[in-house]
Amino acid sequence: MCYAIPAKLVAIEGDKGIVDYFGEQRKVLLDLDDVKIGDYIFAQGGVMVRKIPEDEAQEILKTWKDIFFELKKTDEVMSKINTENMPENALAILQKINLRQMIKKDEMHTLLELTDPNELKVLYEIANHVRQREHGNASCVHGIIEFSNYCAGNCHYCGIRHDKNIPRYRMSIDEIIAAAKDAVDTHGFKALVLQSGEDYWYDDEKLITIVKAVRKLGTLVFVSCGSRSKETYKKLYEAGARAALMRFETSNPDVFATLRPGTTLADRIQLIKYLKEIGYVIATGFIIGLPGTTTDDLVNDILLTKVLSPDMYSFGPLIPTEDTPLASTSMVTKDLVLKTIAVSRFVDSNSNILVTTALETLDVEGRKEGLLAGANSLMLNITPMQYRKLYAIYDGKVTDNQEVTQSIQDTVDLLYSLGRAPTDIGFSCNTNTEGETNE
């Protein structure tokens, strides 16, 4: 199974390189290895992860060549907009989007409140079209290892919050490294998210050992271990982590303070900004449907994500979870999540937008529909099976019983059926000309 395309380095500018694969050029960060023009590399999320010998690269490119152009064609056909029967307000938005103009706050609000199925269909089609225009058929597939469900935090929505009485587990350093090695060597992952609750059993020294070892496997290391100190994140960057996943959860400071006792939105944002400053590739976002939030909050959530200029948007619906203070909150609709994906795509056309497991948990078709509403990224749960069910941040997580080989196969089948190639190599070399603000 091959879900990364080797790229050839065609230019170097400081610590950035321009790589080419099948005539497409992307920008990548080259800071982890000695490379020269003409080398073949694997890159993920805009970061080079390792060099590949030329003969190996040529072999992989040969197997990709035919399918790559076939997939592109499928994607182009599937992302065409059908302008027949298009409602008037949708036509006006399409025009703006085609002119690469920003939609305004009140327009975002209007789109997020659409309910007519015909209008929604058009909204998703336009978002899918913009995704194709900005990214081609490239999509990213990262693996996630949930290595501990201990958490010092007590977030009201979360199923592994400190006060919830659940069986806890912690993977040993060796277990984490072995799981990562299996993901890279057996399954071919090029980017791994290492996620846990805020578990201080893993001190800086342990985390550094893990990051160094996983980085050495030739993969992008994505850390997601909560509001640890700035110093910790700096050390992890120095150890080789290059990406960090940290949601701000909600842009509403009062809701934040209520649902995340003892913490503030301002501190969380400051930390996310700091991670960006250090040089991390950032994934951030929010939860849709937290009690006390409105459509205006959702507009602000999308705009705050944009302000933080992440490399990846990560948001999903609240899944009310037993024995948590939000157990009886009502569930949002799948369409609200799809609308949020579409509007995020319009507001930040060049972003990577993740379809999160929570959307799949809400609806079995969620993953496919998310990818057709403007999203272009996926994460596969590769936590060792004996721990999967225990990382129960919410009830009914769909990935609980999926064997890795099967979920890779299902994902590749889905991506191919939509004409997508799992080739998240780097950032587009095109520049965008959006001028307006969202006010």
d(CA 146, CA 152): 16
Interaction between residue 320 and ligand SF4 (CB under 6 A): no
Q: Which two tokens stand for residue 342?
A: 């579409």
Which residue is nearest to ligand 5AD, using beta carbons?
394
Given ligand SF4, ligand 5AD, none, residue 319, with its beta carbon under 5 to 8 Å by kind, binds ligand 5AD
Per CB under 6 A, contacts with ligand SF4 among 58-117 are none
Going by the DSSP 8-state scheme, the letter that residue 193 receives in this structure is E
> Is residue 161 within 8 Å of 190, Cβ to Cβ?
no
53's CB contacts (< 8 A; 6+ apart) are 40
Min CB(384)–ligand SF4 separation in Å:
19
Q: What are the φ and ψ backbone dihedral angles of 57, each rounded to 5 degrees?
A: -65, -45
Backbone angles phi, psi at 30, to 5 degrees: -110, 25
Of 105-113, 148-156, 181-189, 359-367, the window that binds ligand SF4 (rule: CB under 6 A) is 148-156
Contacts of residue 279, defined as CB under 8 A and 6 or more positions apart, other chains included, come to: 237, 242
Binding stretches for ligand 5AD (CB under 6 A): 157-158, 247, 249, 287, 316, 318-319, 321, 358, 393-394
* Beta carbon of residue 33, minimum distance to ligand SF4 (angstroms, whole number): 33
Residue 230 near residue 243, CB atoms below 8 Å: no
Which lies closer to ligand 5AD via its Cβ, residue 229 or residue 406?
Answer: 229
Q: Which does 321 bind (CB under 5 to 8 A by kind): ligand 5AD, ligand SF4, none?
A: ligand 5AD
**Residue 344 beta carbon to ligand SF4: minimum distance, rounded to whole angstroms:** 21
User: Tokens at residue 186, please?
Assistant: 């057996």
Contact 322, 392 (CB under 8 A): no
Nearest residue (CB) to ligand SF4, 200 versus 274: 200
The entry of ligand SF4, ligand 5AD, none that residue 161 binds, CB within 5 to 8 Å by partner kind: ligand SF4
* Amino acid identity at 294: T
Contact of residue 171 among ligand 5AD, ligand SF4, none (CB under 5-8 Å per partner type): none
Please choose which of ligand SF4, ligand 5AD, none residue 296 contacts, taking the beta carbon within 5 to 8 angstroms, the exact cut-off set by kind.
none
Q: Which amino acid is at 195?
A: Q
> Are the C-beta atoms of residues 436 and 102 closer than 8 Å to each other?
yes
> Whole-angstrom Cα distance, residue 345 to residue 305?
12
Q: Does 261 bind ligand SF4 (CB under 6 A)?
A: no
End-to-end CA distance of the chain: 46
The answer to whether residue 316 forms part of the interface with ligand SF4 (CB under 6 A) is no
Q: Which does 342 bind (CB under 5 to 8 A by kind): ligand SF4, ligand 5AD, none?
A: none
**Contacts with ligand SF4, residue ranges (CB under 6 A):** 151, 153, 155, 158, 160-161, 197-198, 226, 393
